[in-house]
Amino acid sequence: MNNLKLAYRNLFRKKQNNLIKILSLGFGLAVGLVLLSKVSFERNYDDFYPDADRIYQIWTTLSGRTNDTGLDQWGQVSGAIAPGMKAEIPEVEAATRFTYLTGENAVFSTPDKKRYKGTFIMADSCFFDLLPRPMIRGNAKEVLSRPMYAMVSQSAAEKMGGDVIGKQIQLETYPGRELTIDGVFSDVPENSHQRYDVVVSLNSMASFYSYDGQENWLGNDRYRGYVKLHPGTDPEKLAPSVRLMQKKHQDIEEIEAKNGWTLTYALLPLKSIHSDSPEVKRMTLLLTIIAFALILTAILNYVLIVITALVGRSREIAVYKCYGAENRNVGSSIMTETFLHFVLSLLLAGLLVFSFRGTIEEMLSASLGSLFSLRSSLYLAVIAVLIFLFTAFAPAYILSRIPVASIFRGTGQIRARWKLVLLSVQFAAAAFLFSLLVIVSKQYNLMTNDNPGYSYGNVLHAGTFGVPRNTVQTAIDRLWQLPQVASVATASMLPFENMSGNNVIIPGEERELFNIADMYWADEHYIPLMEIPIVEGKAFDAKSAPNEVVVSRSFKEKMETIAGWDDVVGKDIIITEHGLSRIVGVFPDIRLGAISDQDTRPSVLFFRNTPSNNIIIKLHSMNGENIEQVFDLLQETMPEKEIALSPYADSLVNMYSGERQFRDAIFIGGLITVLITLIGLIGYVNNEMLRRRAEIAIRRINGATLSDILGLFMKNILVIALSACVVGEAAAALVASKWMENFTEKIGLSPFLFIGCGVIVILFIELIVGMNCLKTANQNPVDSLKKD
């Protein structure tokens, strides 16, 4: 208790820089712990499900394709696979399957014309047995057994007014099909690999699709299947049983012999689906490094400030020792003082996190409640205790171990060595984060400004799914009449969207050659509007036939390698789902998807003379007034549709929201690190100038110039900064090269880039040193000697 009272009194003493200590440590803890909470959030996906360690997702695995290397895997299967495993394999305790009915933010409405947004899935009656959520209203098995019945999440129910049982809803994209709500379940936590707002009975499939596919053993692999294994079952040992199931239901050996590849199914642990992906592993590793670099900088700066104030404290401690205090008493007193500072820093960190919660949630794509869950909070509490122990032990050890006699003789050299070591680590952290920020920013600029192989300037797009084609055609006709519109086209898929796959077959043969990215249909205006060049053959025109297709250059190259075709234009080809088609043109490969997740398959585009699901509008000039007029026209012609009109360039930028958030995290972490380092550097320089002012005065009297005095300090710091920046740049190069593995196109990591970043950091350090030395160096030597 006495130590705590003493620590409280010392809190308000001058020349101990307690406010600076608390501020720098508080800012460091705020950002560092938030980043670590994001790491914990990402690494603990799906761990909230009971028996999560026994639940597996079924992945389709295809190996040995012609001219393909490695293993193709995707997390979807045909409709009969999951229930088939339950029926055929004794080690499978339970199984379920579901498929998406809509994507995110699908619009649905109630009979009173109120609109809401949500994600719809269609699941069988066993869905909540494997992936349970607490039921607030209704019996899940009963609801999901009845066609056209659904359950909604608690948050969706609250938005709709709470009392939703018996209420009917209708998806905007499926007019005329009403679903009856008969159950409410607790929201799916944010750290789940599958989130949804409405679960529709899978028995409703026939009301939405002409082809069901629930009983398919092959093809139509749109379903996500899950199994729960009996305790103690090794999933790798189930391969023979899976193979027997395939032989019984798929004629698998004949299919594989005909096509030249092997089809199997793999079981991926539920908790590893997200956290073990290479992208998440790299991202969490980098965030961990940044967080610990920031926290370490804050800790070392705290210790540096404590040691900088060593003169006053050491004499105070010497007096305690003269009155009988032992090392453990001194250490206990220092640790109590540090504890008080640490508690205040944590309170400041909490206040900062709460004050900037909106920014944090946007930057990290997670709510504070999810980031600071019970598990995450315990993890952060352990880290906080370790930080406190290090922060408290170092000053306590240093101060308590200094002999009384040396205290009164002076401890300048001891303090200088300690401070330079601490400063060098902070310099290295600042150089590391600054270089990483430059690299991430350059890569982000490359992704958002790179040429994807087509032109999207002044282009808008809007989805029309669920709107009758004659209504869409009316909207297109009216758009052509607007003077600000240069062109209008329609297409099924836009290049930045995820493409479905189909297989290529030569007519008269049964062997499937390779898989393509299918862009489906577009009209004759699409290719000119997007300025996609045609390098062979021709583009679509008003006289094109429905079976005409243009293919990418890599498609032509595949056919040349596999089939020996020197020219593909005019050749007939079979593409599954489309049938017999004739190739009329070849275009250069364009980017499909994002640079961080690029679809590198050959691609095809089919002709359709009726409107498809996306309207693409090219304006003469992109400005707010023109966009508003286009939006008003679309809303007027399609009043039942919630129009989402977006500039194409914005949609491309939104694909890289994860990279932007990572860049922003580095920026904030780097800014805080630089500020903390700046505080420590200024404190060190001012203290050294104060300690050596008599020496400076004597040097000035003996003829030393201002540049000589500045050089005395700047050279000393320069040596430390150089070595520290080399370490920081080396670490940045290692981390950046790891992060760059996410991208198919990337900036060059030239040595000159790191040298340039290091030089900037060193110049900044030297500038701060010079500015802080200038006042004392210019002081009258007589005044300096009088003060000493």
Most confident of 242-246, 561-565, 741-745: 242-246
Confidence (pLDDT) at 68: 47
pLDDT higher than 70, residue 698: no
pLDDT higher than 80, residue 455: yes
**Any residues with CB less than 8 A from the CB of 299 and at least 6 apart, and which?**
25, 28, 387, 390, 391
- Measuring CA to CA, which residue among 171, 98, 164 is closest to residue 130? 98
Most confident of 291-295, 570-574, 713-717: 570-574
Q: Cite the beta strand spans of 88-215 per DSSP E.
A: 92-100, 106-109, 115-118, 120-123, 135-137, 149-153, 168-171, 178-185, 198-201
Q: Assess contact for 242 and 248: CB atoms under 8 A.
A: no
**Any residues with CB less than 8 A from the CB of 783 and at least 6 apart, and which?**
none
Confidence (pLDDT) at 3: 53
Confidence (pLDDT) at 71: 47
- Residues 420-442, mean pLDDT to the nearest whole number: 84
DSSP 698-718: HHHHTT--HHHHHHHHHHHHH
3-state secondary structure of 61: strand
From residue 409, how far is each of 313, 326, 406, 412, 474 by CA, in Å?
A: 14, 20, 5, 9, 93
Return the higher-pLDDT residue of 299 and 310.
Answer: 299
- Measuring CA to CA, which residue among 23, 47, 43 is closest to residue 35? 43
pLDDT higher than 70, residue 175: yes
- Residues 701-727, mean pLDDT to the nearest whole number: 74
pLDDT higher than 80, residue 702: no
Confidence (pLDDT) at 69: 38
Q: Assess contact for 501 and 515: CB atoms under 8 A.
A: yes
- Measuring CA to CA, which residue among 713, 10, 203 is closest to residue 416? 713
pLDDT higher than 90, residue 577: no
Residue 566 tokens read as 């020197």
CA distance 56 to 52: 8
Confidence (pLDDT) at 326: 53
Residue 704 tokens read as 């030393």
pLDDT higher than 60, residue 67: no
Phi then psi for 62, rounded to 5 degrees? -125, 120
Confidence (pLDDT) at 125: 93
- Residues 377-404, mean pLDDT to the nearest whole number: 74
- Residues 90-104, mean pLDDT to the nearest whole number: 89
Confidence (pLDDT) at 447: 80
Return the higher-pLDDT residue of 48 and 678.
Answer: 48
Confidence (pLDDT) at 188: 93
**Any residues with CB less than 8 A from the CB of 627 and at least 6 apart, and which?**
460, 619, 645, 647
pLDDT higher than 60, residue 65: no
125-134, 143-152, 407-416: least confidently modelled range: 407-416
Confidence (pLDDT) at 736: 85
From residue 335, how far is each of 19, 316, 323, 380, 419 by CA, in Å?
A: 17, 16, 20, 21, 20
- Measuring CA to CA, which residue among 297, 611, 582 is closest to residue 471? 611
Banded model confidence at residue 495, pLDDT cuts 50, 70, 90: very high
Return the higher-pLDDT residue of 609 and 335.
Answer: 609
The predicted-structure confidence for 540-555, as pLDDT tens digits, reads as follows: 988 888 889 999 999 9
- Measuring CA to CA, which residue among 263, 256, 280 is closest to residue 59? 263
pLDDT higher than 50, residue 336: yes
Return the higher-pLDDT residue of 393 and 244.
Answer: 244
Most confident of 64-68, 331-335, 567-571, 744-748: 567-571
**Any residues with CB less than 8 A from the CB of 107 and at least 6 apart, and which?**
115, 116, 117, 171, 172, 173, 642
What average pLDDT is seen over the chain? 82
Q: Which residues pair with 133 in a beta bridge?
A: none
Residue with tokens 């297709």: 549
Confidence (pLDDT) at 408: 47
β-bridge pairing 262-269 and 55-63? antiparallel
From residue 754, how far is each of 439, 633, 659, 721 by CA, in Å?
A: 9, 52, 21, 15
3-state secondary structure 342-367: HHHHHHHHHHHHHHCHHHHHHHHCCC
- Residues 642-669, mean pLDDT to the nearest whole number: 83
Confidence (pLDDT) at 618: 95
CA distance 56 to 54: 7
pLDDT higher than 50, residue 215: yes
- Residues 96-102, mean pLDDT to the nearest whole number: 90
Q: Which residues pair with 266 in a beta bridge?
A: 59
Confidence (pLDDT) at 662: 78
β-bridge pairing 603-607 and 512-522? parallel
297-311, 365-379, 390-404: least confidently modelled range: 390-404
CA distance 532 to 713: 61
pLDDT higher than 90, residue 390: no
From residue 298, how far is each of 24, 295, 481, 550 by CA, in Å?
A: 6, 5, 62, 59
Q: What percent of the chain has pLDDT over 90?
A: 30
- Residues 629-640, mean pLDDT to the nearest whole number: 90
Confidence (pLDDT) at 66: 47
